[in-house]
């Protein structure tokens, strides 16, 4: 949600607001937009803005292996065609100077501010208080502070550790002849009543689950604007999984899945579709209790076959009995990012009858992969609508290529997307969802050379 001036004024009037973010259209360079952060803390000695706010780079100074050390630009130096990529693994200071450092007001009132131009895109952020190295800053010690006035989308407090906002594209300042970095497909759709669906978290009965309560597990669900207005109508259903270290709220909080779906539907790329974003940790106690954002957590990613069996047993029937969704494979899809892409591959191989569409987004697959004899044994494998996607700067690129090589060798046709600005990060996964909707979802099967053209 963008922060309006009204909220800012209200906050000052009742002097309750301790933090906010304001987005200004400036009509001047370098990007046409400026973002103002404000955070109040009278005891802090240093405040950095961390989370998903990264330095920028460009394609001429970055490769898939060098982006962590090369060409990191402060957004004040933004040039059209610049993009941000995940910089997790950056050396800690003093080797590297983080660009987003807040300044304390001279008045001694503990007001910290930072103003920066930013180009089109979705950014997530949290404040790093007296802590210089994000991976070491924890909520428990008060060193990682979530904006209390723009809380994340989540079910239970603690399920998300960053808030987010989106900056629009300004063609005058951001158009690049080399690269399209317009992410406005993830902005709020116009005409809310007609175009905007709803998104909420939901608890379901899942015996053995250890979060958010014993035998209760959770997911987030997107219902398109039309949902509930057409008596008896059953909607196509997309399951969309998070990756390692995440949960079912990520796709909305960090990826604005609902906005992307609203825009795909509004522009006629897909019919109204329901989306369910499950959570694959804490389904049972076998791997230990996973706490979102706990950097020292050693809880492993649960094995995909175990997750598949659990979701098939408890989540899928629950969703079918509580929502107006269609129940045959032709109108069901499963997609996921990273380890969620591994889960999508697991569903493709071992739940082939349940879904006709599969999206492996930046999949961290390691094989073994299917081969031609597997396809002979299960011909349905070659009759599905598949997309395998990855970013040009994505560390899983070699894994996703191996998966594609195996599909090629097995005679399986699929849609491919290489995100040209993409690392293993949310702008890549948004792009992958956008193109999955445009090129794959609910398209006639089997796929041929004309599919998606």
* Contact residues: ligand NAG, CB under 6 A: 18, 41, 43-44, 92, 129-130, 133, 136, 140, 142, 145, 155-156, 201-203, 212-213, 216, 218, 234, 291, 294, 296-298, 305, 326, 328, 330-331, 345-346, 349-350, 371, 373-374
CB of 42 to ligand NAG, least distance (A): 7
Q: How far apart are CA 50 and CA 39, in angstroms?
A: 13
Closer residue to ligand NAG (CB): 264 or 360: 360
Q: What is the DSSP letter of 259?
A: H
CB neighbours of residue 150 within 10 Å = 17
Q: Which tokens in the block code for residue 51?
A: 């989370």
Closer residue to ligand NAG (CB): 192 or 289: 289
Closer residue to ligand NAG (CB): 41 or 174: 41
Among left, alpha and beta (phi > 0; psi -120 to 50; other), residue 132 is: alpha
Strands 332-337 and 357-361: parallel
Q: How far apart are CA 219 and CA 280, in angstroms?
A: 10
CB of 50 to ligand NAG, least distance (A): 13
CB of 294 to ligand NAG, least distance (A): 4
Q: What backbone phi and psi angles, to 5 degrees, belong to 161?
A: -125, 20
Closer residue to ligand NAG (CB): 75 or 248: 248
CB of 438 to ligand NAG, least distance (A): 22
Strand partners, 361: 337, 389
CB of 295 to ligand NAG, least distance (A): 8
Closest residue to ligand NAG using C-beta atoms: 142
CB of 82 to ligand NAG, least distance (A): 27
Closer residue to ligand NAG (CB): 183 or 357: 357
Residue 194's alpha-carbon distances to 236, 260, 372, 441, in angstroms, are 19, 15, 47, 22
Closer residue to ligand NAG (CB): 94 or 177: 94
Closer residue to ligand NAG (CB): 190 or 288: 288
CB of 322 to ligand NAG, least distance (A): 13
Closer residue to ligand NAG (CB): 206 or 423: 206
CB of 221 to ligand NAG, least distance (A): 10
Query: Is 182 in contact with 169 (CB distance < 8 Å)?
Result: yes
Query: Is 269 in contact with 305 (CB distance < 8 Å)?
Result: no
Burial state string for 7-41 with b = 16 or more CB within 10 A and e = fewer than 16: bbeebeeeeebbbbbbbeeeeeebbbbbbebbbbb
Q: If we measure between CA atoms, which residue out of 406, 408, 417, 419 comes closest to residue 439?
A: 417
């Amino acid at each position: 949600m963008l922060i309006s001036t009204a909220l800012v004024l209200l906050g000052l009037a009742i002097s309750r607001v301790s933090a906010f973010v304001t987005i200004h259209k400036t009509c001047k360079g370098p990007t046409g937009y400026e973002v103002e952060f404000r955070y109040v803390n009278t005891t802090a000695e240093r405040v950095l803005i961390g989370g998903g706010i990264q330095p920028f780079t460009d394609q001429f100074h970055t490769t898939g292996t060098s982006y962590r050390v090369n060409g990191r630009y402060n957004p004040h130096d933004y040039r059209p065609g610049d993009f941000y990529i995940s910089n997790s693994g950056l050396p800690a200071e003093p080797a590297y100077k983080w660009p987003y450092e807040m300044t304390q007001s001279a008045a001694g009132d503990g007001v910290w501010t930072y103003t920066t131009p930013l180009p089109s895109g979705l950014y997530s952020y949290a404040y790093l208080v007296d802590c210089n190295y994000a991976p070491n800053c924890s909520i428990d010690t008060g060193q990682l502070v979530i904006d209390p006035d723009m809380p994340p989308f989540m079910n239970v407090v603690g399920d998300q550790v960053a808030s987010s906002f989106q900056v629009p594209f300004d063609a005058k300042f951001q158009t690049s002849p080399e690269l399209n970095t317009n992410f406005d497909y993830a902005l709020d759709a116009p005409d809310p009543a007609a175009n905007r669906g709803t998104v909420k978290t939901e608890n379901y009965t899942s015996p053995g689950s250890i979060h958010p309560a014993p035998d209760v597990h959770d997911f987030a669900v997107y219902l398109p604007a039309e949902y509930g207005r057409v008596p008896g109508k059953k909607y196509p259903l997309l399951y969309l999984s998070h990756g390692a270290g995440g949960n079912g709220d990520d796709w909305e909080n960090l990826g604005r899945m609902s906005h992307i779906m609203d825009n795909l539907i509004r522009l006629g790329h897909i019919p109204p579709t329901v989306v369910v974003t499950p959570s694959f940790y804490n389904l049972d106690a076998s791997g230990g209790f996973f706490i979102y954002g706990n950097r020292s957590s050693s809880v492993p990613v649960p094995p995909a076959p175990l997750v598949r069996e659990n979701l098939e047993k408890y989540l899928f029937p629950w969703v079918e009995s509580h929502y107006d969704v269609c129940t045959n494979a032709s109108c069901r899809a499963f997609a996921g990012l990273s380890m969620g892409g591994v889960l999508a591959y697991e569903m493709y191989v071992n739940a082939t009858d349940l879904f006709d569409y599969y999206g492996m987004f930046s999949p961290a697959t390691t094989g073994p992969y299917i081969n031609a004899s597997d396809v002979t044994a299960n011909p349905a494998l070659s009759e599905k609508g598949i997309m395998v996607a990855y970013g040009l700067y994505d560390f899983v690129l070699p894994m996703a290529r191996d998966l594609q090589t195996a599909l090629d060798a097995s005679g399986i046709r699929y849609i491919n997307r290489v995100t040209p600005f993409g690392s293993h990060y949310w702008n890549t996964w948004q792009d992958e969802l956008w193109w999955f909707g445009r090129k794959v979802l609910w398209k006639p099967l089997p796929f041929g050379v004309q599919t998606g053209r």
